Amino acid sequence: MSTRPRFLVFCAAVLIIGTLVGGYFGDPALATPSRSAEKLRAFSSMLGLIQERYMDETDSDEVVYGAIRGMLRTLDPHSNFLDPNAFREMREEQRGSFSGLGIVISVRGEEGLLTVISPIEGTPAHRAGMRAGDIISMIDGEETAGMTIGQALKKLRGKKGTTVDLIITREAAEEPLDFTITRDDIPTTSIPYAYMLRPGVGYIKIKNFTQTTSDELDQKLRALSKQGMERLILDLRANPGGLLEQAVKVSSRFLGGGKLIVYTRGRVSNSDQEYYGSDDKTGLRYPLIVMVNKGSASASEIVAGAIQDHDRGLVVGENTWGKGLVQTVYPMSHESALALTTAKYYTPSGRLIQRDYRSLEDYFTYAQMQDDESREVHYTDAGREVLSGGGITPDVEVENPETPEFIQQLVRRSVFFDFAVNLLAHVELDRSFEIDEAILTRFKKFIEEKKIEFEEEDLKNNFPYLETAIRAEVLGNLYGLEERSRALAENDLQLLQALDLFPRAQAMLAALTRTGDLAEQSETPDRQSSSRNERGATPPLNQ
């Protein structure tokens, strides 16, 4: 298989797992029994011939799974077969927890070293004293050289209460370190970062929509309110989606008043549903900016679309992915499942978000955007024009500048992370440290030792990037990934431009308040959203 088809299959798998939305159950397929039986007999005969006559031994599961996936690719980009591993991972992500050690890992460097990016605070790995930069050289007596992240995770995760033995190589440690760690339940948060970006300005990053997202959001909103939050940036960039019911609940926190948030339409009777926000009149009264980009898909687009259609906040960034198909997850035998597209979803103004997918190559590589002139015009509550059929077009488009090639090369080679680990092994730093001449001299020597070719001008011209990246990795190593995010935010040009747009968000909120569409803010965001599903359909359960 060529590199490009492999890349397309990978993109499809990532997007499909992240954007499954649905969970209600439709009617059986309308195929006649005789024709179905005839096709099944043909398939069974071919499978038998392959197993009997093919030149090499075959795995019947792989052959059948491949046939199912091929069949589904004739339908649409998002209908997909979930083998036992994929189905298990999806359920773990939706539940919001798994049993393991509590570390973020990556394969780093040309040697493919299994590296700890960060231990999660309060988890077994954190309590045992594991650190960012630790290299896991052995797991339960097996060397990790050549392991993929997926293979390593299978070994690190396991039943709660069981133990795993690790051999760790640590910078500046003379001998390898032995760890025996007992597995425990590890929460998988969907909101990794929430902090005050500026005085009065809160920032919340939602990475996906799981069963815990709305509860996590309530907790973060309360915490930031106590810190004096008066305005909010809700960051949905690179959020591939998740549970539809959670998108409804998150939207409801800001809309209130029983407003329509999304509706679905399909061929079978129970696919027509409408989802509304909480029945009370109250919506959180923060001036709101929602940030999106082309990695924002599905449930993210539901939230952004509802906020935009009801003129509740300002949508800022880049055009979103354009995924408006609903998947119902049907459990199958052998712990597998079928994620079948059963409906399309529409924003409150009637917009279909789904982008044209007649060319799967263009669809998954985002090579061809739909022309605005061919997109149907709809209108927000306040009469603003919005377009259908090509994702969510932001109210204010702000492109993310291209990162210089020199910086991209350093990131690809894990230079900033590795340098931070090396630096902290020899120099004691805290939050107040600055990138001075001594640190830059160390950095220059470090990249020379990595045999990376560069000119003095590369360092001079890219100093803002270098300063931000070094500081972010050092703070992340010392204090965790949220501190790393805070440091990166200081050079996030999309985010910095969004801060200047709050007067417009404030004006939109004031207009809603004047018309009575948004009442006074409640003290705590503890309301429950509701869904009004036509024909008694079961509410969405899965991504």
Annotated catalytic residue, options 309, 395, 458, 517:
309
Query: Side-chain half-sphere of 437: how many Cα atoms within 13 Å?
Result: 0
- Which of 402, 398, 403, 400 is closest to 290 using CA atoms? 398
| Residue 309 bears catalytic tag | yes
494 membership: H or E segment, kind and range: helix 493-499
Report the C-alpha gap between 104 and 409 in whole angstroms.
23
Written as six digits, the tokens of 263 are: 């509706």
Phi, psi of 316 (to 5 degrees): -130, 140
Tally of CB atoms within 10 A around 304: 30
Region of residue 96 (left: phi > 0; alpha: psi -120 to 50; beta: else): left
| Residue 444 bears catalytic tag | no
Q: Provide the sign of the torsion angle of the four alpha carbons 92, 94, 97, 101, taken in this order.
A: positive
Annotated catalytic residue, options 205, 249, 259, 323:
323
Annotated catalytic residue, options 298, 336, 349, 388:
298
> Helices in 234-284 by DSSP H: which ranges?
244-255
Written as six digits, the tokens of 445 are: 């020597």
- Which of 144, 63, 73, 68 is closest to 107 using CA atoms? 144
Amino acid at 137: S
Report the C-alpha gap between 26 and 267 in whole angstroms.
9
Report the C-alpha gap between 543 and 529 in whole angstroms.
18
Contacts for 433 with CB less than 8 Å, ≥ 6 apart? 471, 474
- Which of 178, 179, 188, 171 is closest to 120 using CA atoms? 188
Contact 285/299 with Cβ under 8 angstroms? no
Query: Side-chain half-sphere of 263: how many Cα atoms within 13 Å?
Result: 13
- Per the listing, tokens 């703070």 go with 475
How many Å separate Cα 90 from the centre of its chain?
13
In the three-class reduction of DSSP (H, G, I as helix; E, B as strand; rest coil), residue 51 is classed as helix
| Residue 388 bears catalytic tag | no
Contact 287/262 with Cβ under 8 angstroms? no
Report the C-alpha gap between 526 and 504 in whole angstroms.
27
Query: Side-chain half-sphere of 287: how many Cα atoms within 13 Å?
Result: 17
How many Å separate Cα 43 from the centre of its chain?
37
Measuring CA to CA, how many Å separate 68 from each of 33, 50, 86, 212, 449?
19, 16, 15, 32, 50
Give the per-residue SS3 of 53-118: HCCCCCCHHHHHHHHHHHHHHCCCCCCEEECHHHHHHHHHHHHCEEEECCEEEEEECCCCEEEEEE
Secondary structure letter of residue 129 according to DSSP: T
| Geometric angle at alpha carbon 434, from 429 and 436, rounded to 5° | 105
Q: Which residues are catalytic, by number?
A: 298, 309, 323
